Amino acid sequence: MPPRSEAGGAAFDPRRAMRLAAVGLGLGLAIFAFYFLVYRTRHYSLPVGFDAPWYVWRAETVAATGLSQAGTAVRPGHPVLSAVLGSVTGRSQLELQVMLSLVLVAVLALAVGAFFRAAFGGGAWGWAITVGVTGPFVGATRFVGENIANLLFLGLAAAAAAALARRVEGQPGWRAAVVLMVAAGVSHWIFLGLLGAILALTAALGVPESRRQLGAGVPLARTESGLVASAFAAAGATMVVVIAGLLRAPFQTFEVRENPSRYIPKLRTDTFRLFLPLSAPLGLAGAWTLARPRRAHGRFGLRLLLAWTAASALGISVMVATRALPPHRFLEFWVGVPGVVLVSAAIVRGAEWLRARGRKALGWAAAVAGIAATGAIGGLAWYTHGPGVWISPTALREARTAAIYVDDLPAGRPFVFLVSPLGKAGVISVPFKEHTIRVALPPDHQSDAHFYVGDPSDLLAGRRSLTGGASDRATVRYWEDVRAVLPAHPPLLIVRALAVPPYQEAVGQLGAPVIGPGVALLQGTPPRTPLPAEPLPQAVPPVRFGVPWGLALLGLLLAAGAGWSVALLGADAPLEVLVGVAPALGAAVLILGGLVAAELGIHPGGGGGVALYVLLTAAGAALAWRSLLSRRTGA
């Protein structure tokens, strides 16, 4: 039985906390390695995922210049976090895109495990199984290596759910939930509306319980419904101030929408990857075990899972009918928390049933078999149908060569890259090409970059090229942006790998000089000497270095959030909850602290990022120490 403190709660045991933190880091490392080894087996040399260049250039720019360049104030959660971690580790943003995107899977898994422990109990056994199931199973979704902002959002939201579960039980957690939800909103505020709908429905489902609490003399703000509603209201109000007042960014953050005709096939594919013949029975069994009459401890968790399921099902149905957003995103959000919780519950309860009957070996075997079976689903999807590498090494190398020319331009001088509207990504090929070029550009020139879609002869004539297809509608914003700078006769560049026919026309018919390997200058003053071919940067570390770096990144997040976890959740919280929430809280405080620092003119990269990490980690440790001292003295 755990020792008791003078204040009456369970005493904080530093040794057990360190052991459990080591277990959490071990589980997180296993999850990271589970995904990272795809780079070795597939011989990838650049980050996987269609959106990889978007995350890389934004993080590089935020690290060097803050939030002032090229719309980086929109959804800045990931770039701020990556910039700070890059400053602490000295790793490039290309390397961090490889590693941090996979570490965030471990952050999500630990947070979901914390929610299971806080909402449904299960002790260290249930927590570890839930972490073990969640980490590999989400490989069947598009979170891993692809929708990184969504993955970060969900990890923070799951940790907020764990904090709310603790607060509903009358323990500290409300402030932690608000901090986590605000950080989640900064990471992807469009989906904060979905979380708000989930929590609103959770509060509505809790009205009968809240009425009983009111009858017992509990103030409205401290009833279950009041706590849930007030936490999201506080987070939502803070986000309005952050978006409109601090960041001065638009609430709508989509750039070029994907062709809606691809939505249903993607939903069908993502559903198939979940391998429903196995995962569906496990999920139903988990729902049955959680819904059985039990102590009141798990009622909030059940209401949250029910609300999350209803909101996701409604979102999928509405999006299938309207095509306003990709419906598979709602499926992913359901799988990432309720889905894995239900599957985990089936495995946890089954293993508990065996252990309670003296069959401990069978209980262990059942847990391992359950984790292995669900891990096989995620592993098969990841290693067989994973996102793959979309960045062309040739295109990145040529764009880096063009960046040498750009770097010699005076600050504020606009320049234009011509790209072809064609590509294997369909109507979103142009944004992908833009992001690939931006990865190579100097951070302080990002706002000077403009992109023209079409033919070089049309560009020189100052008119828009039209294809007569869907790409004309998808790329109109590029024309509206670039035509404003064309009268100033800016330099016009073409990277061959991203516009092969236009490049050939410019060089062969229009006489554009080739100023470097694969780079033509359609308009502007050529450099005095040809530009050298830029080498391809090292992005994927060898396994012997990559795996330790993954552990280091997870350890940095856990260390940054450990003190805040104790201070905001209470020193008497179950250690599984404290450890599980700590990496997400670490990410949250680094995001919010980095946001404030950037607005004060302190760039999250370099020495500013290191100082920020040390300051926030030390502040959390000081608050935790104060909390522990208060408990010991009974204050």
- DSSP structure class, residue 282: H
At 396-407, the pLDDT tens digits run: 999 999 999 999
- Angle at alpha carbon of residue 8, lines to 5 and 10, rounded to 5°: 55
Phi, psi of 447, rounded to the nearest 5 degrees: -75, -15
Distance between CA atoms of residues 20 and 410, nearest Å:
54
As given in the structure block, the two tokens for residue 278 are 């196995």
Please determine, for residue 395, whether its predicted confidence score (pLDDT) is greater than 50.
Answer: yes
Phi, psi of 11, rounded to the nearest 5 degrees: -70, 145
- What does pLDDT average to over the chain? 91
Read off the pTM. 0.94
Cβ count within 10 A of residue 572: 20
Phi, psi of 450, rounded to the nearest 5 degrees: -135, 155
**pLDDT value at position 3?**
44
**pLDDT value at position 252?**
67
pLDDT band at 32 (very low <50, low <70, confident <90, very high): very high
Please determine, for residue 296, whether its predicted confidence score (pLDDT) is greater than 60.
Answer: no
At 133-187, the pLDDT tens digits run: 999 999 999 999 888 999 999 999 999 999 999 999 889 999 999 999 999 999 9
Task: Answer yes or no: are the C-beta atoms of 161 and 199 closer than 8 Å.
Answer: no
Write the burial class of residue 253 (CB in 10 Å: 0-12 exposed, 13-18 middle, 19+ buried).
Answer: middle
**pLDDT value at position 1?**
38
pLDDT band at 10 (very low <50, low <70, confident <90, very high): low
b/e burial code for range 503-521 (CB count within 10 A of at least 16 → b): bebbbeeeebebbbebbbb
At 330-341, the pLDDT tens digits run: 999 999 999 999
Give percent of the chain with pLDDT exceeding 90. Answer: 74
Phi, psi of 521, rounded to the nearest 5 degrees: -110, 105
Distance between CA atoms of residues 195 and 173, nearest Å:
17
Beta bridge partners of 493: 417, 521
**pLDDT value at position 11?**
65
**pLDDT value at position 9?**
47
Lowest-pLDDT choice from 5-14, 381-390, 509-518: 5-14
Distance between CA atoms of residues 225 and 246, nearest Å:
30
Please determine, for residue 254, whether its predicted confidence score (pLDDT) is greater than 60.
Answer: no
Phi, psi of 514, rounded to the nearest 5 degrees: -90, 110
As given in the structure block, the two tokens for residue 600 are 């004060």
**pLDDT value at position 4?**
43
- Residue given tokens 């608000």 in the structure block: 178
Residues 6+ apart with CB under 8 A from 218: none
Task: Answer yes or no: are the C-beta atoms of 187 and 241 closer than 8 Å.
Answer: no
Helices 148-168, 77-89: inter-axial angle, 10-degree rounding: 100
Task: Answer yes or no: are the C-beta atoms of 286 and 345 closer than 8 Å.
Answer: yes
CA 323 to chain centroid: 24
At 549-600, the pLDDT tens digits run: 999 999 999 999 999 999 999 999 999 999 999 999 999 999 999 999 988 8
At 425-484, the pLDDT tens digits run: 777 889 999 999 999 999 999 999 999 999 999 999 999 998 877 778 888 899 999 999
Residues 6+ apart with CB under 8 A from 480: none
